[in-house]
Chain A
Amino acid sequence: MPATTSIAVAETPLVRALLARADDALILGHRLSEWTGHAPVLEEELALANIALDHIGLARALYTYAGEAEGAGHTEDQFAYLRDAPQFRNLLLVEQPNGDFARTIVRQFFYAAFAVPFWRAMQASTDATLAAIAVRTLKEATYHLRHAREWLIRLGDGTAESHARAQEAIDWLWPYTGEMFATDPAEAGLIAAGVLADPAPLAAEWRAGFAATLAAATLRQPEGTWMHAGGRAGRHSEHLGHLLAEMQFLQRAYPGQAW
């Protein structure tokens, strides 16, 4: 990696859209990796680390493609380590701290239940690279959703303590779910060209799956309708900066350092 400490990216609509999905995967993968060594049981240690690995693998494929699409020679590592928070385009949901296990599971459920219909739709992308990435990502997202759904039901329909924590987590993270289905005006051209799936029509499947899981988990649907927005535009919660400070420390302090 050339010894630079920050990069500017020439964002065409395609590069911007690729970075947005890559950032979702990287930031969520990093959050999940924070559980390594701290998970409640060994099986969950393995599960969360494996899911983190799937997300980071997806991020690598998308960053690599973004680098080709931009044509400025930027590598996956440079996109991950040398951009500042306002250059990240991930959803606010995925940067929210892990909290307790219930909050991590609810964040996983909310995101995976979106990722499944999104990547299913992306299999029909007119962009051959994205369609190929989608085939593999859909399989992994389906597995992630099953894991999160089973845990959410177990927590909700478990003890009074786990039920209360699961409900608290749902109520806390609920305002971060609207952003997933908001059509980004910057992506209208890509959606019209069939490169990118429009997330708005995916909301119905997501809501139905959420309602069915809530019923099985004896949990309550949040009533609020106000939703956070801004992640795709680079306006983030304070949590992203702290995450990046840790994740990017080595490349910022020792530019170009390699194994």
Chain B
Amino acid sequence: MVSAEQAVAAVPDPEIPVLTIADLGMLREVRVNADNSADVTVIPTYTGCPAMETIAADIQAALAALGIAPARVHIALSPAWSTEMISPAGRAKLAEYGIAPPPPAHAPATPPACPRCGAGEAELLSPFGSTACKSLWRCRACREPFDLFKCH
């Protein structure tokens, strides 16, 4: 039997489906109340991230599948999300998926390692990528373009 907390933790990010909201560090609290309702608190990644509404609906669906309803999803502004909150497992999944994990917040400005060949000689193609959380790079060694999860 899957617990409510496990079911919510397994909800994927709709834009990077290899990551769950727990991997991202977005999930703060799951509380099931005596009346079978639930209160879930999440923190948004980027202020304008359009995935938030889908994530809220997916959380409600995951809990409804366990017979828990209604589920209220609360968006907390504090603590402010940062890429430091991505779990080690989440960082490993990103790299395997082909997205370079974010550099540590105060890392020296060295190019990210290519998630395909591992070479550390990438060049920035665009500081803004296909979603709010990514920038676009190209590996000078294997010539493949790849996304980097931006440090935030």
Interface residues of A (CB under 8 A from B): 29, 43, 46-47, 49-51, 53-58, 60-61, 128-129, 131-133, 135-137, 139-140, 143, 146-147
Is B80 on the interface with A (CB-CB < 8 A)? yes
| B50 close to A53 (CB less than 8 A) | yes
| B77 close to A57 (CB less than 8 A) | no
| B132 close to A54 (CB less than 8 A) | yes
| A128 close to B78 (CB less than 8 A) | yes
Select the residue from A50, A58, A146 with max chain B CB neighbours within 10 A.
A50
Return B48 CB to nearest CB of chain A, in Å: 2
Q: Is the interface of A mostly helix, strand, loop or mixed?
A: helix
Q: Which of B17-25, B57-65, B121-129 contacts A (4 or more CB under 8 A)?
A: B121-129
Return B19 CB to nearest CB of chain A, in Å: 19
Q: A29-B48, A46-B129, A53-B132 are in contact. List 19 more A-B contacts (CB 8 A).
A: A43-B125, A46-B126, A51-B128, A53-B46, A53-B49, A54-B132, A55-B48, A57-B44, A60-B48, A61-B77, A129-B77, A132-B80, A133-B77, A136-B77, A139-B152, A140-B47, A143-B150, A147-B127, A147-B128
How many angstroms between the C-alpha atoms of A135 and B50 in the bound complex?
20
Other-chain residue from A135, A143, A147 in contact with B80 (beta carbon distance below 8 A):
A135
| B78 close to A43 (CB less than 8 A) | no
| B128 close to A57 (CB less than 8 A) | no
How many angstroms between the C-alpha atoms of A140 and B133 in the bound complex?
11
Instruction: List residues of chain A with CB within 8 A of the CB of B136.
Output: 43, 46
| B81 close to A43 (CB less than 8 A) | no
The contact sample of 23 A-B pairs, CB cut-off 8 A, is A43-B126, A43-B128, A43-B136, A46-B130, A46-B136, A47-B126, A51-B128, A53-B46, A53-B49, A53-B50, A54-B47, A54-B132, A55-B48, A57-B44, A57-B46, A57-B49, A60-B48, A128-B78, A133-B77, A135-B78, A136-B47, A139-B152, A140-B46
Q: Is the interface of B mostly helix, strand, loop or mixed?
A: loop
| A54 close to B126 (CB less than 8 A) | no
Other-chain residue from B48, B127, B130 in contact with A57 (beta carbon distance below 8 A):
B48
Return A153 CB to nearest CB of chain B, in Å: 14
**Chain A, Cβ-Cβ closest to B125:** A43
How many angstroms between the C-alpha atoms of A50 and B128 in the bound complex?
7
| B128 close to A46 (CB less than 8 A) | yes
> How many residues on chain B are close to A (CB under 8 Å)?
21
How many angstroms between the C-alpha atoms of A137 and B47 in the bound complex?
8
Return B58 CB to nearest CB of chain A, in Å: 17
Instruction: Given A54-B47, A57-B49, A58-B48, answer yes or no on A136-B126 (Cβ-Cβ < 8 Å).
Output: no
How many angstroms between the C-alpha atoms of A53 and B48 in the bound complex?
5
How many angstroms between the C-alpha atoms of A146 and B132 in the bound complex?
16
**Chain B, Cβ-Cβ closest to A54:** B48
Return A108 CB to nearest CB of chain B, in Å: 13
When each residue 22-56 of chain B gets 1 if its CB lies under 8 Å from chain A and 0 otherwise, what string results? 00000000000000000000001011111000000
Instruction: List residues of chain A with CB within 8 A of the CB of B77.
Output: 61, 129, 132-133, 136
Return A88 CB to nearest CB of chain B, in Å: 20
| A47 close to B127 (CB less than 8 A) | yes
Instruction: List residues of chain B with CB within 8 A of the CB of A137.
Output: 47
B110-151 interface with A by 8 A CB criterion: 125-130, 132, 136, 150
Instruction: List residues of chain B with CB within 8 A of the CB of A47.
Output: 126-128
| A143 close to B127 (CB less than 8 A) | yes
